[in-house]
Amino acid sequence: MTRRERQELIDKGLLLPLMEEFYTIQGEGFHKGTAAYFVRIGGCDVGCHWCDVKESWLAELHPPTETEKIVENAVKYSNTIVVTGGEPLMWDMGPLTAQLKAKGVQTHIETSGAYELSGTWDWICLSPKKMKLPTERVYEKAHELKCIIYNKDDFRFAEEQAAKVNKDCILYLQPEWSKRDKVVPMIVDYVMANPKWKVSLQTHKYLNIP
């Protein structure tokens, strides 16, 4: 296959830069504590300085993998498939989700929303970032909003984002892991004063699993 042919397949979503895939327990947000198969797609230009998967940023480091093979492997493990990154919406998610839905599984995505929404999703976790804001359509479709709290200004940002999502979207505040000792008390106080919000913790890190 030539480089041009490979790029055409990537552009169509028939090849995706697969960083890793694993079966584990969902650690965050609404579905925390439930088993799910994670597919981590490489490539992200949002650039969060506190990102804990910076090795996902460069798509070129991760082999273009046939979408069909990703699906075949994923459905062996779980009926809930979580697509994460990186930023998976940098790529066309249509072929991946179409094949997953044809297998009868649930499709979840974790995204910053910085790129146009593609694919068919049963659950959209929107985690917006200040550096590159979500598109309007992602705000409209999100099932949960997960705002990471690194400092006090992030509460202001979280409220701005909450004002843009649909009325049924569940609102979460999650401490940035390296600052958790400092910001958890702030989050607790904030949620008690503003009960439309819920607390999300990275429980998989407490469980010491992927």
- The annotated binding site for [4Fe-4S] cluster is made up of 44, 48, 51
Q: Which residues are annotated as a binding site?
A: 25-27, 40, 44, 48, 50-52, 84, 86, 127-129, 210
Cα dihedral 52, 112, 16, 119 sign: positive
Q: Which residues are annotated as a binding site for S-adenosyl-L-methionine?
A: 50-52, 86, 127-129
Please provide the DSSP assignment of 74-114 as one string: HTTT-SEEEEESS-GGGS--HHHHHHHHHTT-EEEEEE---
Cα dihedral 43, 128, 121, 144 sign: positive
Q: Which residues are annotated as a binding site for substrate?
A: 25-27, 40, 84, 210
Start-to-end C-alpha separation, the chain: 34
Tokens of 29: 């947000």
Q: Are 15 and 67 in contact (CB under 8 A)?
A: yes
Give the C-alpha separation, 69 to 74, whole Å. 9
Please provide the DSSP assignment of 106-125 as one string: EEEEEE---S---S--SEEE
